[in-house]
Structure 1
Amino acid sequence: MTVIVFPKTEGKDGGPTAEFLTADNDGRQMLRFFADYRFDGRPFSVSFWAYNMQDAERRVASMRRNLCLEGQLLLRGEIDFPYAPPGKGDVPRDKGDGSTLSIRAIWRHLLALCHAN
């Protein structure tokens, strides 16, 4: 793989800009990557988060084995519920004090339940 650096578009330290950085629930930094594919002779890409290049390559290999369509995206954002359902310790909670439950955490939990059945 060849990395091309565009000096005027990279972050101050030579790394990615803020929109291409995030952190997982444990505070570990994640980077934005993309993978290309062709469909009907035209190029498309999909973006995803990974910890580093090696992790990104492992994730692409996993996509090759078991990628499946889950649904259509209709909006982007984070929506927090004011409380976590009592007695639902297996439902993932947002980082922080655990008093909020994000729609993303609910979606992951529902997907896990669907795939388990």
Structure 2
Amino acid sequence: MKAIIDNIECQRDSPRFRQVLEENEKDLDTLEGKLEKVVKQCNQMVAAGKQFNQEQEQLIHILWDLAGYFGNDTNVQSALNRMLAALGEAAKYHTILVDQAARAVTKNLASFIKNFYRI
């Protein structure tokens, strides 16, 4: 995006100034459209991430129930507990990732577009 508008041209309000101003306005419109696409895609990603987290938590609960079934078999129960620990850790970090994406990208960028970009 070229942001060069000569001060002398501004003062003259010449046809060249009008042309450069129009080009910059078009660039801003293009940028706004691209930023809105980023926000929309990030919102979809956050929604999909939340759905994934819910499904993963259901899997953890089902595996926890399965581990209880093998209460007498320490080898199977030990293997399931290790898998549950790994899945729980992954779920925790994935939840943090989705939350950070929602706050850092979606919320802040949408706020920027709304408050600072549209003057």
Greater helix share, 1 or 2? Answer: 2
TM-score interval w.r.t. the shorter chain? under 0.3
- Normalised to the residue count of structure 2, the TM-score between the two structures is 0.19
- Normalised to the residue count of structure 1, the TM-score between the two structures is 0.19
Greater Rg over alpha carbons, structure = 2
Greater strand share, 1 or 2? Answer: 1
